[in-house]
A = this chain, B = another copy of it.
Amino acid sequence: MDQVRLLVIGGDAAGMSAASQARKRRSREDLEILAFERGAYTSYSACGIPYWIGGLVPGPSALVARDPSTFRRDGIEVRTGHTVTGIDLAARTVTVRSPSSTFTEGFDELVYATGATPIRPPWAETSAQGVFGVQTLGDGAAVDAWLSADPRPETAVVIGAGYIGVEMAEALQRRGLRVALIEKAPQPMSTVDPDMGALVADSIRKMGIDLRTGVTVSGLETAQGRIRAVVTDSGTLPADVVVLGLGVRPNAALASDAGIPLGATGALATDLRQRVRGVEGVWAAGDCTEVLNRVSGRPVHVPLGTHANKQGRVAGINIGGGYATFPGIVGTGITKICDLEVARTGLSTRESTAAGFRCVSASVESTNRAGYFPGAVPMTVKVIAEQDTGLLLGAQIVGRTEAAKRIDAFAVAVWNGMTVTEMTALDLGYAPPYAPVWDPVLIAARKAHDAL
């Protein structure tokens, strides 16, 4: 049998998981694997960047799960600093730009795992230094260097109060900067409902971060090639460093240019086995793809490391001759901001309505542990259910400790299409150090049942 050649575009979680799983199942004689990564790092935890910047974890090497030499040892050739600039599906080749040359490489199978790029609105296009998106480990290194350089930045403005914005705001504050966090929406974390977002806003402000919601940025002020301030519709904020937390866009241009049709979200669309729809021998995984939201039934673009890893694994198993599928997501997301824990799964109220559900919701205040147990602190749990059927549509949690991972019980319940009524009977773990005799999850399900 002739050796098959697998090219991987993108050396992070999705691409390298695919490579590793394919390698596990097929010998070097049978399958050659060559990966191109435009950055300097492979298989890293981008989610760890805020903690690195904040000084909680060392970086960047601690965030790298496997480096190129490890992959090479396992028979996966990785070329960092190599950017794929074109794909020719008819010729089965890609064009690659290395630091020293441009060349083409042929492939039999292709894994497209190019990730995503922070959104940079026109007003953020500047040649001045000190404005960062934070998506790759390289981005993290650039921020880290800027914060340590002279003149030492003292004021920071983070634009966008989603996961990465909020995490970076905390990181910058930890690093000793005065931090303003600007959000266009009336609340931070628009992935949760307004009432839950208000709890998050309170906590962010109590941390001493200058959170400004409902504020629109109109431009940046620069001087001597450095960022100086952020201009908003409610004033100008001094900024020695600006971090963009406005979300990311799938890196799909390369695919689009090659004639690969994109999905409705602008990301690559794949089948359950991560094959790009309508293109033979091309696979895609990770932040450049769209995924099925199992609750709304719609494709969505949800760039998260946990999905990227799973999708890459699925692609690799299938390339390796095995069988695996990625059946979609239910919209779970959690984050920690200082001692505040925020979690969500399923659909928010707004998302439920947008999907066409008529829904009810219920919120409860409970505690992480039995009320009498040391360390018991409050937790707010909100549940959203379809009005007519009681179908659990989503849940949100804001708490202080032992709160966020409680979302997993909801995530599994959403996955399985449980009703809130059935949820009230769930046999969840109970002992005084871990939960009140009615776990907050159960109380919230009961209240939602009562609201039907």
Contacts and interface: CB of A to CB of B under 8 A. Distances in A.
A439 B329 CA distance: 15
Interface stretch (A45-53, A83-91, A148-156): A45-53
A415 interface: yes
A47 B62 CA distance: 42
B415 A429 contact: no
Given A334-B434, A437-B305, A56 B409 contact: no
A38 to B, nearest CB: 22
A222 B422 CA distance: 52
A78 to B, nearest CB: 19
A430 B409 CA distance: 13
B416 A429 contact: no
Contacts of A62: 372
Interface stretch (A94-102, A230-238, A251-259, A400-408): A400-408
Interface in A392-446: 402, 404-409, 411-413, 415-416, 418, 422, 424-435, 437-439, 441
Q: Quick one: which of A307, A336, A370, A427 has the most chain B CB within 10 A?
A: A427
Contacts of A435: 405
A325 interface: yes
Contacts of A56: 373-374
A427 B329 contact: yes
Contacts of A434: 334, 336, 404-405
A380 interface: no
Nearest to A333: B429
A357 interface: no
A405 B404 contact: no
Given A48-B370, A62-B372, A372-B48, A408 B437 contact: no
A367 interface: no
A122 to B, nearest CB: 31
Interface string A42-76: 00010110010000111000110000000000000
A327 interface: yes
Given A406-B408, A412-B416, A309 B425 contact: no
Contacts of A327: 422, 425
A432 B171 CA distance: 14
Interface in A305-360: 305-307, 309-310, 325-327, 329-336, 343, 345
A141 to B, nearest CB: 16
Given A48-B372, A372-B58, A402-B405, A429 B412 contact: no
A436 to B, nearest CB: 9
Given A406-B408, A411-B429, 13 more contacts: A47-B432, A48-B370, A51-B373, A304-B430, A330-B427, A334-B434, A335-B431, A345-B427, A408-B429, A408-B439, A408-B441, A409-B409, A409-B412
A45 B58 CA distance: 44
Nearest to A415: B426
12 contacts: A56-B373, A57-B374, A310-B425, A327-B422, A331-B427, A332-B430, A333-B429, A336-B431, A409-B411, A412-B412, A412-B418, A413-B416
A63 B436 CA distance: 11
A422 B58 CA distance: 35
